[in-house]
Structures are given as structure tokens and as C-alpha cells.
Amino acid sequence: MNIERLISCAKKATFISVMLLTGFGTTAIAQPDFSGFLELDKRFVTGGDSTYIDNFYNQFRLEMKAPVGSQLYLFSSLDFRFYDFPKTQSLIDLERMESQFPYDLSVWEAFIDVYGFLSEDLDIRVGKQRIAWGRADKLNPTDNLNPNDFSDLVNFTEMVPSWAFKGTWYFGNNRLTGVWLPGITPVLLPKNGANLFLGDAGTFDDELQLPEQRPKNSMFAFRWDGSIEKWDYSLSYFNGYDDIPIPVKMSLTPPDPPQVEMKFPRMQVIGADLVTEISGIGLWAEAGLFLPEEVEMVSEVNGISSRETQFEDEPYVKFTLGGDYTFSNGIYLNTQWMHGFFTERGAGELNNYFIVQLEKDYFNEDVLITLGNTLEVNEWSNLGYGFSPELTYQAIDNFDAGIGAFLVWGEQGTLLDRWEDLDQIFVRFRIDF
């Protein structure tokens, strides 16, 4: 690159930066487009001794999209979750709106896109965003940039957006993506349900250690996407944190309740995925080689302290293999084999999950029936089974109503065993605007 070109690039970068900092300067902002949805959800939990109505959230999402010229785009969304039942515990709570009508409000996503930044072939996205990696269907061992969103047990494959700087360079049909995240965003757990995903550690009094906000504790990742004939593939590298904490100190001093200190271990993941189709059958494979750091745990039992390795720094592989096919009668079949659930880590701790999902729509897509089946094979001996049927009525544009169930059964020690008490029937209504 010669000096003139360097200067030209620098000028362009300065100009765009100034535009971004000054609210896009003189560039005319297009009329913002507002959209979103309201979803009302009722959960009847039947798995325990008696049926109860779960205080599950209803959700209102307001999105604002604004293209600015041909190269800039602004997106933000507010997530408002409100609950059915008050959390009043004393008379003083009756004076408080937030106790009577509890809610959570967050900026879900907020980012700026710049297309053709510095070079025609470079796009950047800056801000709170979802970066979805991996070509498997929702069960992606290479999707580690955003934390898991377990706030809804029924939709445990969701992810939470996090703040990142992402640049994507395009080379014909190939692209190179680089991402930098200033720090970790931890997993989002269901209300009062940490133990569902974290086991016993979720039941103790706990203290979380977040990494210090220093540059050395930031996270970064690269990914190369390419195509060879009808095969699409990617290779990726992630250097960051596991968003699920691990115990590093345990105190058992009766009669005090057990206490646990937890931290987020650093890890690297070398990933690859592949997707193609053969005779109309979609096929995919995705794998992540996890390179964890060693984690030690200090145990204090009745004042006696001991130290042991809680987690070895041995590499392990998580993978998902899958395929899908649409039969001529319209039935859609999607099957996947996932080795290693989101919360599982360590070579000896990975279990196998076989997922079979069937979908069929009726009356010109006015009604959709989905049957989800999951078989958990824990250490190739203990079994768990999950069944999630759902019927969705979507005859009116922008509206759908669904009724379904999430039913699980598992032998002791399985993940699904921990979820058994949360067997539930749900009814939901959603309007998009």
C-alpha cells in the first residue's frame, strides 16, 4: 500500500469516525422504522406434587431500525419483561409499583453497521449484538461469543447479545470475520433455577468472581468462511471465557450454610463446521476443540483447608452431526446428535443427546404441528427422554397462538432428571408489528 493510499484510508476512517461520533454529521437519516412484538405466555407446571402457574415473563420487544445513507445502519431494541404475580412480602411493598408489577427492562441489542468501511469489501458492526456462529441447527459448539440464554427452559438454545466489535472482510464467496469483545457477559439463568443448569453449585450461597475489566481480560475470535463446490465450511478460533461459572472455593462449616465461590474459566476453542446436501438431504457437522485452563478448588471443611484440581486443562471435543429432509407429503424431519450439552465440560463429562424433530403444516400454513423428541444418553448407560409437542395457529398475519408441552423424564444423574419437576404445559399468544 503506497503512502497516498494510506493517507486516503486514514482520511476516510477519520471522516466516518467523526460522522459516527457526531450523529452521522450531515448525512440525512431515513425515517426510523419501529417494529417488534408482544408475547404473552402462561406456563402450567405439572411435574411436581401439584400443578402451579409459573411466574413466567411476558415479553414486549420494541425495535428501531434506521438506515442512514447507503452505508450506515442503526438498530436498537428494548426488551421489556413483565410478570403476572406481584412480589409483595410486606405492607411496604404494596406502596411500590415495582413490587406490585415486577418487570425487567434491558437494551437487548444496539449496534451500528458500516458497509464498505475503509475498503469496499469490509463491513463492520459495533455495539451490543448477537453473533451466531456454527452451521448446526441451534446446537452449536462453536457459538461461544454470546452467552447462553437459559431464562426460558423451554427455549434453552437461545443466546443473549453482548457488546462486540465485528469486522467482516469479503473475498468473493469467502469471508474473514474478526471479533473483539471487551469482556465476558455471563450466562442468563432462569429465575430461581440456577440448579437446573449448574447442578448442586446452584443451590449454595455463592459469590461470583468476574474477570477484572482490563484489556488482557478481553475476548477475541476469528472465523474463515468458504465454499468449495456445493460444500460450505468454516474454520474458527475463539479466545475468551466460558460463560458458565465453575466453583473455585467451597466452605462447609456447620451450622453455617455451605458457601461457594465461583469464577469464569478462560478457554480457547478451535472450531470447524461443514454443510452440504446430498440427494435433497441437508447434512451438517460442527465441532469445537476446547482448550480449557486448569482450575483449582480450595475446600474448607470445619476450618481445615485443602486444595485440589477442580478442572484439568485437558482438551476435549464437542460436536453436533445432523441432517434434515422434507418429504413429498410436506413432513419436515430434522435429526441431530449432539455430543456435549452447553453446560457440560471436560472429556469425561460429555454426554450424548439425540434429537428428532418433526414438523408439518396444514391448511396452507394456518396450523403448524411440531413434535420434538430428545434422548439423553448419559455415559452410555443412564437415559433421559424429553418430548415437546406444540400446535401453532397462525391463520392471521402477524399473530400466532400456540399450545404445547415440555415433558421430561430421566434416570438419576441425567440432565433431564434435574428438569423433571418442571414438566409444563404452555399457552402463548404473540403479535408482531
Partner 1 sequence: MRRFKSILPILILIFYAFPSWGQTPDVILSKIDSVQNAFSDMSATEQMRLIDEENRIKERVVEIQQKGKELRMVRFREPADVRGVGFLRLASDRLYLYLPAFRKVRRIASSATNENFMGTDFTYEDMSRSSYSEDYLARDMSMQNGQYRLLLEPKSGADVNYHHLVIFADTSNYVLRKVEFYNREEEKTKELTINDVENIDGYWMGKTMSMKSLEENHETVLKLSDIRFDQGLSDSEFSQRTLKRPIR
In angstroms, give the least distance from the CB of 141 to partner 1.
Answer: 15
**Does residue number 250 form part of the binding site for partner 1 (CB under 8 A)?**
no
DSSP code, position 188: B
Q: Which stretch binds partner 1 (CB under 8 A): 122-130, 249-257, 296-304, 419-427?
A: 122-130
By the 8 A CB rule, do 66 and 29 touch? yes
CB 75, CB 64: distance < 8 Å: yes
Residues 365-424 that bind partner 1 (CB under 8 A): 365, 397-398, 400
The window from 63-71, 89-97, 178-186, 206-214 that contacts partner 1 (CB under 8 A) reads 63-71
Closest separation in Å from C-beta 286 to partner 1? 12
In the bound complex, what is the minimum distance in angstroms from residue 433's beta carbon to partner 1? Answer: 5
Residue with cell 440525512: 28
Nine cell digits for residue 228: 468449495
Output the smallest distance, CB 136 to partner 1, in A. 10
**Residue 119 binds partner 1, judged by CB under 8 A:** no
Q: Tell me, residue by residue from 96 to 115, as one string, x for binding to partner 1 by CB under 8 A and - for no binding.
A: -----------------x-x
Q: For residue 11, count other CB atoms closer than 10 A to its CB.
A: 10
- Strand (E) or helix (H) holding 11: helix 3-21
Return the bridge partners of 388, or none: 372
* 355, 335 contact by CB (below 8 A): yes
**Region near partner 1 per CB under 8 A, out of 94-102, 208-216, 253-261, 326-334:** 326-334
> Binding to partner 1 by residue 64, rule CB under 8 A?
no
Q: Which amino acid is at 430?
A: R
Site map (CB under 8 A) of partner 1, residues 162-201, x = contact: ------x-x--x-x--------------------------
d(CA 431, CA 433): 7
Nearer to partner 1, 279 or 302 (CB): 279
Nearest to 293 by CA among 329, 242, 334, 332: 242
| Cβ neighbours of residue 193 closer than 8 Å, sequence gap 6 or more | 150, 153, 202, 422
Asked whether the beta carbons of 6 and 397 are under 8 A apart, the reply is no
CB atoms inside a 10 Å sphere around CB 212: 8
By CB under 8 A, residue 6 contacts partner 1: no
Which residues have C-beta within 8 Å of that of residue 187, sequence separation ≥ 6? 147, 148, 149, 150, 197, 243, 244, 245
Quick check: 27 binds partner 1 (CB under 8 A)?
Answer: no
Residue 158 CB, nearest distance to partner 1 (Å)?
9
Q: How distant is the alpha carbon of residue 430 from its chain centre?
A: 21
Question: Does 31 interact with partner 1 (rule: CB under 8 A)?
Answer: no
Nearest CA to 417 among 370, 373, 385? 385
Q: Which of 43, 57, 124, 135 binds partner 1 (CB under 8 A)?
A: 135
Residue 39 interacting with partner 1 (CB under 8 A): no
Shortest distance, CB of residue 220 to partner 1, whole angstroms? 19
Of 25, 48, 330, 413, the one binding partner 1 by CB under 8 A: 330
**Are the C-beta atoms of residues 321 and 335 closer than 8 Å to each other?**
no
* 35 near partner 1, judged by CB under 8 A: yes
Residues forming the site for partner 1 (CB under 8 A):
30, 35, 37, 65, 67, 70, 73, 75, 113, 115, 123, 129-132, 135, 137, 168, 170, 173, 175, 230, 232, 275, 277, 280-282, 284, 324-328, 330, 332, 363-365, 397-398, 400, 432-433
